[in-house]
Structure 1
Amino acid sequence: MKNVIIILTLLISNLTSAQIEKENDTLEIWTLFSIGNFVNQNAERIVEKKWPFKIKGIAGDSFMEDLIDSVEIHNNKVWTYLDANGYSESKKKFETDLLTEIKQIKKAVDISNSDKKVVSLFEKWRKNGQQNYTALNKLTDVKYEFSLYSFDVNDLDKGQTFELKYIVDLDNEKIKVIK
């Protein structure tokens, strides 16, 4: 009887600890990023959709040197896992995807910054002491949708105000205003 109680106790404690120590099975690629880098953050968010992992920024503008080694060790485990499970040269392919997306977003931003309506809106915000927020969505391989919002940092309870929505077409280097 004593043995049965011991076995039952061990079994229950193992089941309980297995539930408590629930392991996270989500793959993550860690990045060291600069806070506020619009292009890189959006490129990572867009490229992440093509891959079976999440991209997680683990450091801001400053970080210790040994953190770089930790990030590389962690990411190398993910690349090895992916290459062993159906991917080929996953790290190289991901880096190519990311660099391509960064270049395209930079081009879309440059096209935006050359548009008179967009430039005048940013000037208006600067003169009025307002801040802005831009939401970016990739519609196709060559089209990006920008939604611009403004807000007053001195009155955050007021929230943000929608200002402008437009699509940048990289092929013809033009902007089409939607709203």
Structure 2
Amino acid sequence: MTLAQTEQKTDTLEIWTLFSIGNFVNSNAERIVEQKWPFRIKGIAGDTFPEDMIDAVETHNNQVWSYLDANGHTDSKKKFEADLLAEIRRIQNAVEISNSHKNIIQLFEKWRKSKRQNYTKLHKLSDEKYEFLLYSFDVNNLDKGQTFELKYTVDLDKGKIKIME
């Protein structure tokens, strides 16, 4: 579900989302798709939020879509949702390919055994290729910062991973 808000102070259009905070696939899809649109995407709630928030934000959402449609876009809400859904599917596919690769499975197992947490940066190279940068960190010793672990690309067309480092 996407919702929107117009930020009055700066005349910046913002699309508000409710279900993407903490969701690797959705938050990355939103970040990537946002680059193609004249607005920022802002997560405003996590797993729980007051029900009346939906109605209030949907009202703003409709204003933003109407504004975009009146200023050069056609069916902006429908096109945005299609863009977002396509990006979500591509990223999900890339994550599934990653999670089935033996080196990545071993790395996650190593982190689990050593009680390290992981952090992943995702870069879209094209509609067929994504770059993953994997880092780990010790939650009991955050002063040490994160450790770079692995860089690889996923080729969706070939269903393959190319490990860089």
Q: Aligned with 1:59: secondary structure? A: coil
For 2:36 and 2:161, the matched residues in 1 are separated by: 26
What one-letter code is carried by the residue in structure 2 that aligns with 1:168? V
Q: Which is richer in strand?
A: 2
Superposed CA offset, 1:79-112 (max 9, x none): 0000000000000000000000000000000000
Q: Does 1:137 align with 2:117?
A: no
**When you count helix as a share of all residues, which structure comes out higher?**
1
The TM-score, its normalising length taken from structure 2, stands at 0.94
TM-fit CA distance, 1:154: 0.2
User: What is the aligned partner in structure 2 of residue 10 from structure 1?
Assistant: none
Unaligned 5+ runs, structure 1: 1-21
State the Cα RMSD in Å.
1.0
For residues 50-74 of structure 1, the C-alpha deviation after alignment (integer angstroms, 9 at most, x for no partner) is 0000001111221000111122111
Deviating 4+ runs (over 3 angstroms): none
Q: Provide the secondary structure at the position in 1 that maps to 2:44.
A: strand
Please list, as runs of the form range in 1=range in 2, the aligned pairs for 1:32-111 lying within 5 A after superposition. 32-111=18-97
| SS in structure 2 at match of 1:63 | coil
Match of 2:156 among 170, 173, 176: 170
SS in 1 for 2:66: helix
Bigger Rg, which one? 1
Please give the TM-score of this superposition, normalised by the length of structure 1: 0.86
Give me the identity figure in percent: 73
The number of residue pairs the alignment matches comes to 158
Give how far 1:34 is off: 4.3
Deviation at 1:23, TM superposition (A): 2.6
Q: Could you say what secondary structure the match of 1:27 adopts? A: strand
